[in-house]
Amino acid sequence: MILLLTAFIPSDFALADNAPQAASVPANTGAAGPQGTLYRVQSQGHTAYLFGTIHVGKPEFYPLEPQAMQ
């Protein structure tokens, strides 16, 4: 089973022409626990919070199915 996680970022934030003031800045300065890590991203007066973990599969998992790559 393949699970995909998509973060919601408002379109005006995602399409901003200027570079973000701070990108992927950890909101929690402590060590990441088993629940994942919370990141705060700020740009042009907008703030987005991203929560997630990184999962790495075996080489035989790749390439992913075309639906997952869209």
Domain boundaries, the chain: 37-70
Mean pLDDT value of segment 1-16: 47
- pLDDT higher than 90, residue 48: yes
pLDDT over 90 percentage in the chain: 11
Cα-based distances in Å from 54 to 28, 32, 34, 40? 17, 12, 11, 17
Q: pTM value?
A: 0.29
Q: Which helix (H) or strand (E) holds 22?
A: strand 22-26
